[in-house]
């Protein structure tokens, strides 16, 4: 998906739901949420991309521990190991997620899509390839209507009105 995706986790997050949350670009958890790659506890292998996403978020050692033990961890522990971006009080979960989404929505949509692609491509490329990609997409952005709007708005000290062009 070309747009940023935020998981708002409020409660137990295990099995396929755990994998779905990992597939999101960002994860925000309520303080009472719990997380677990509980597949092995019922005789299953991680699915829905869990074995691919998990080590990229938390490293292979933490991924092994979570998958091999099936242990549920707290939201604070999930934040500590990099599984979630942040933990917030239960009653602030949706307002936090909506605030984050609204802040992103104010930015140029084309840039968000291109940056998301670049970030995920960088996971399997070298630095030289990343530099080449950055140069290519930066040139595209430099010649876009949104860049002109962003620059004009900046100099006029107003908020830009991006159109995705």
Determine the average pLDDT of the residues in 2-13. Answer: 93
Determine the average pLDDT of the residues in 81-110. Answer: 94
Q: Which two tokens stand for residue 156?
A: 């006029």
Are the C-beta atoms of residues 83 and 137 closer than 8 Å to each other? no
What are the pLDDT digits (tens) for 48-84? Answer: 888 888 888 998 899 888 988 888 999 999 999 999 9
Are the C-beta atoms of residues 7 and 65 closer than 8 Å to each other? no
Q: Tell me the pairing of strands 34-36 and 12-14.
A: parallel
What contacts 51, CB < 8 A, 6 or more positions away?
45, 63, 67
pLDDT of residue 47: 80
Q: Which two tokens stand for residue 94?
A: 């949706």
Residue whose token pair is 């699915």: 47
High-pLDDT (> 70) share of the chain, % = 99
Are the C-beta atoms of residues 35 and 6 closer than 8 Å to each other? no
Residue whose token pair is 């998301």: 116
High-pLDDT (> 90) share of the chain, % = 39
Residues in the chain: 165
Backbone angles phi, psi at 14, to 5 degrees: -140, 165
- Residue 44 — very low, low, confident or very high, per pLDDT cuts 50/70/90? low
Distance, in Å, from the CA atom of 64 to the CA atom of 55, rounded to the nearest integer, reads 8
- Residue 5 — very low, low, confident or very high, per pLDDT cuts 50/70/90? very high
Q: Which two tokens stand for residue 122?
A: 């960088």
Q: Tell me the pairing of strands 34-36 and 86-88.
A: unpaired
Q: How many CA atoms within 13 Å lie on the side-chain side of 36? A: 17
């Amino acid at each position: 998906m070309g747009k940023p995706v935020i998981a708002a986790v409020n409660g137990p997050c295990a099995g396929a739901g755990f994998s779905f949350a990992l597939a999101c670009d960002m994860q925000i958890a309520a303080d009472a949420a719990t997380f677990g790659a509980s597949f092995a506890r019922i005789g299953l292998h991680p699915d829905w991309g869990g074995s691919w996403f998990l080590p990229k978020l938390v490293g292979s050692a933490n991924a092994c521990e979570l998958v091999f033990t099936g242990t549920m961890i707290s939201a604070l522990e999930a934040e500590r190991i990099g599984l979630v971006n942040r933990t917030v009080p239960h009653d602030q979960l949706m307002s936090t997620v909506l605030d984050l989404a609204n802040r992103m929505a104010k930015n140029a949509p084309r840039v968000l899509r291109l940056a998301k692609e670049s970030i995920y491509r960088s996971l399997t490329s070298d630095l030289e390839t990343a530099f080449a990609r950055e140069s290519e997409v930066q040139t595209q952005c430099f010649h876009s209507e949104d860049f002109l709007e962003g620059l004009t708005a900046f100099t006029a000290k107003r908020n830009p009105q991006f159109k995705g062009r």
